[in-house]
Chain A
Amino acid sequence: EVQLVESGGGLVQPGGSLRLSCAASGFSFSSWVMTWVRQVPGKGLEWISSISGGGDTTYYADSVKGRFTVSRDNSKNTLYLQMNSLRAEDTAMYYCGKGSSYSISWQSHWGQGTLVSVSS
């Protein structure tokens, strides 16, 4: 059974940093594109970043480019999102999603999410 478990969310001040993790199990982690999607409470879904199975190719939304960095440790079956220079508008629930073997994909499975609040 595919399982994705996010962690690392919390309250952080504007300009601060946070690192999210997504622990994966139940599938061959290194074979699949992984994605981060966020959702402001009460609003829609926003794709923010994807990373190839090998970790050598990354993609970012303009809203986070230069501030967020996606990475993965295939030996630990874990996906990461390093978030720097956080802003109030980054406040959201952050979900990780499992893609496919293609470079761009839908998300077949999702974690339960981790909440990030940026406030002074």
Chain B
Amino acid sequence: DIQMTQSPSSLSASVGNRVTITCRASQGISTWLAWYQQKPEKAPKSLIYAASSLQSGVPSRFSGSGSGTDFTLTISSLQPEDFATYYCQQYNSYPVTFGGGTKVEI
């Protein structure tokens, strides 16, 4: 199975800050990577797929990059509604696996 390791597990930031979250795969997954945002008591929401493609309706302050084993999610200017937990997911092969999550807090 492909292990997905996210870092950091949590971070504190302020509105307007640039935030970067990293995700590392235990083996190469090309660009078969997605990012999700989850707020408390809510379902996950798709942000990015294919490592860098923005899901329809997602603000352009979110961006993704990387290929192979190392990936990043960047929020260019953190907004109040962005405080949430973020997960990466590899869909290169079954079983599909998620990273452990990164909680973005004030």
Contact = CB atoms under 8 A, between A and B. Distances in A.
Contacts, number: 55
Contact of B49 (A62, A106, A110, A113): A106
B44 A45 contact: yes
B100 A104 contact: no
Contacts of B32: 104
Nearest to A60: B95
A62 B94 CA distance: 11
A105 B38 CA distance: 19
Nearest to A108: B46
Given A44-B87, A45-B87, A107 B46 contact: yes
A74 interface: no
Contacts of A62: 95
B95 A47 contact: yes
A68 to B, nearest CB: 13
B43 A110 contact: yes
Given A47-B98, A50-B94, A50-B96, A111 B34 contact: no
Contacts of B60: none
B52 interface: no
A61 B95 CA distance: 6
A61 B1 CA distance: 10
B25 to A, nearest CB: 14
Interface in A63-93: none
A109 B46 contact: yes
Given A46-B98, A104-B92, 8 more contacts: A35-B96, A44-B101, A47-B89, A47-B98, A50-B94, A59-B94, A105-B91, A108-B49
8 contacts: A44-B99, A44-B101, A45-B101, A46-B98, A47-B89, A47-B98, A104-B92, A108-B49
